[in-house]
Amino acid sequence: MGLQIHFVVDPQGWCCMGIIIFVWLYNTVFIPKVILFPHYEEGHISAVAILCYYLCSLFCIVSLLRSSVADPGRLPENPKIPLTEREFWELCNKCNMMRPKRSHHCSRCGHCVRRMDHHCPWINNCVGEDNHWLFLQLCFYTQLLSSFTLILDFCHYYYFLPLKKTNWDFFVFRHELALIRISTFMGLVILGGISGLFYTQLMGIFTQQIVKSQVSF
């Protein structure tokens, strides 16, 4: 099934997404320039580490964009309800439209979403039946990129050999400590928040699967 475009006009959501894109852009630009490329030039790391970091960064931003514009499961205005399934539908008291049970009305988006989990301001979109897997994918790649960044921040000061060739005329090297500390702080905050969210999402899925298996028996 192809992904349908779903764009939400919400200034608050745009601001939240702007913050996430800024954090991604910050680490994608400064981490290679301060850590990866200088240590690669002096033979401390291989080109594979640089390639892996850029791949993680690419997967992360692509997942963010896909989950933000993917249709979460918006219900059409005049849904065709099969006679055999009418008992599984109900009337929404906010938009006065018929919807399947377990659907919810999103006040931000202004419509009902099938199996809506929550409205996430960080992707400026609802998380529902059709884009839940994209949201989980985003959480996974964000954890991966944050962990990779934190490991590089740690190794730069406590594991890698000191750099011999550095151009201290460059802004990034004159303010290296501050840049690394900012990167570490953002990495810890994002990794902690996303890890907790990813855990609760997985536990919810596993719980639903267990309930379904018990009902089927």
Catalytic residues: 120
129: its two tokens = 């039946």
How far apart are the C-alpha atoms of 187 and 179, rounded to whole Å?
12
Neighbouring CB atoms inside 10 A of 150's CB total: 17
Angle between helices 176-216 and 132-158 (to 10 degrees): 140
Percentages helix, strand, coil for the chain, rounded to the nearest 5? 60, 10, 30
Beta carbons of 129 and 115 less than 8 angstroms apart: yes
Query: What is the dihedral angle through the alpha carbons of 54, 19, 147, 194, rounded to the nearest 10 degrees?
Result: -130
| Burial track 25-41 (b if 16+ CB lie within 10 A, e otherwise) | eebbebbbebbbebbee
